[in-house]
Amino acid sequence: MSSKNELVERLRNEDARLFTSPIVSDFIGKNQHQRYNTFMSIESLDQFAKTRLNKLAKKGLRRSVINTNRRDAVHLHRNGRDFVSFCCNDYLGLTHHPAVKQAARDAIQRFGVGAGASRLITGNHELYAILEEKIAALKGTKAACVFGSGYLANTGILPALAGPGDLIVIDELGHASMHMGARASNAQIATFRHNDPDNLTKVLASSRHRLRKCLVVTEGIFSMDGDRAPLDEIASIALDHDAWLMVDDAHGFGVVGAGRGSAFEFQPAPIIPLQMGTLSKAVGVYGAFLCSSAPVVELMKNRARSLIYTTGLPPAILAGAIAAVDIIGTDKKRVAKPHNLAKRFCANLGLGEPESPIVPIILGDDTATMDASLELEKAGYLVTPIRPPTVPQGTSRLRITFTAEHTMAQIEGLVDAISPLISGKILRRNTSEV
């Protein structure tokens, strides 16, 4: 057999499905040279993927997805076992709330499953208008614009507002989607030290004057640290430097500020012209929003590529989100519960008071963090280890989240299970603490 044929045979054995793929079968029957090149390039692609995966594995950073059935906000089933979860962002337990599920079921019956096209074509269901009105009313803004997800929102909003010759200044711990949005804008990007208003002032003082428009971007509650941004100071600095402030409140909306979000923890609430939030965490469904003025929202529908060039959200998602936003607006006891439970957990464990329902326990070492998570798993608790690159090097952590559906018995159980694992090993309380 020639080496060419050997290669073909090996690929055929490795993955028979390859030969049913239209791309590959198209080449079969064409001249040998083309076929050989095709197989070579497929092999080099696989080789590339394998090399990258091996590198990640060597660093202990290879990840995998594990099939999991969530039975409600707290209980889940994985690998034949039941667990109590302390790692979901379903802070209010709305993913399984009867009213939210019913709204989604009704919408499927009435409107079908999919949106059929982009919002600008046939996908702008009337439910969008209802949802946007409700979100704007709760947040107290003139208008709101719903996006397909938080990632899509951040990658669409920033390039719609800034471009070459502009400046985007981001908190160094800002979510990956903010950084991606900033990069897609082609504006100049700078970062400021996490939650450090003095450093933000320094960065703006050194570069703002050289550039045209400027955006300052931060989170209301930081996803991996659970700490709050000093939004009052940041808003004032942004105003002083003629910069527009955008706050991603993915983890604050529905949870703090009586459900209205991080800005409403301040008296008076700071002026934040661009308030982004997700519908996938406390709201328990999927999607995201930007609350702003009417012209800015209109601009998004004209210029945000991640809104224009993607299919609209399914009607069931919009209907579920409407029901969930109604609950956030009215059920204040549910809204307050996750943070209160986090406070009780920390008090029982002798930790300082948390600023949100997200409690990081930073052990630093990747392996120690993995081991602690595995021990908790053995005890029936799911607490995901968070490692670089999601968090900075040397700050691997157990990220514990609380929901309105957790019971005190479950929290006390976790305290008992986690105490011996972390005793004397906590490196620091959050990323910014040295």
Q: Annotated catalytic sites, by residue?
A: 89, 175, 219, 223, 248, 251, 281
How far, CA to CA in Å, does 268 sit from each of 151, 231, 239, 258, 336?
30, 11, 16, 14, 20
Alpha-carbon Rg of the chain, whole angstroms?
A: 24
The answer to the question of residue 278 lying near ligand PLP (CB under 6 A) is yes
Least Å from the CB of residue 339 to ligand PLP: 17
How far, CA to CA in Å, does 46 sit from each of 14, 27, 42?
11, 19, 6
Least Å from the CB of residue 298 to ligand PLP: 23
The answer to the question of residue 225 lying near ligand PLP (CB under 6 A) is no
Among the listed residues 90, 132, 219, 355, the single contact to ligand PLP using CB under 6 A: 219
Distance CA 271, CA 263 (A): 8
Least Å from the CB of residue 239 to ligand PLP: 23
The residue sitting closest to ligand PLP, measured at its beta carbon, is 150
Among the listed residues 204, 237, 245, 288, the single contact to ligand PLP using CB under 6 A: 288
The answer to the question of residue 405 lying near ligand PLP (CB under 6 A) is no
**130-169 residues near ligand PLP, rule: CB under 6 A:** 149-151, 154
Element (H, E) at 374: helix 366-378
How far, CA to CA in Å, does 157 sit from each of 76, 163, 177, 304?
35, 11, 11, 6
The answer to the question of residue 252 lying near ligand PLP (CB under 6 A) is no
The answer to the question of residue 280 lying near ligand PLP (CB under 6 A) is yes
The answer to the question of residue 90 lying near ligand PLP (CB under 6 A) is no
How far, CA to CA in Å, does 429 sit from each of 251, 264, 355?
18, 24, 11
CA 383 to chain centre: 17
Q: How many CA atoms lie within 13 A of 312 on its CB side?
A: 23
The answer to the question of residue 275 lying near ligand PLP (CB under 6 A) is no
**Cβ closest to ligand PLP, residue 313 vs residue 398:** 313
Tell me the number of residues near ligand PLP by CB under 6 A: 14
Q: Which residues bind ligand PLP (CB under 6 A)?
A: 149-151, 154, 175, 177, 219, 223, 248, 250-251, 278, 280, 288
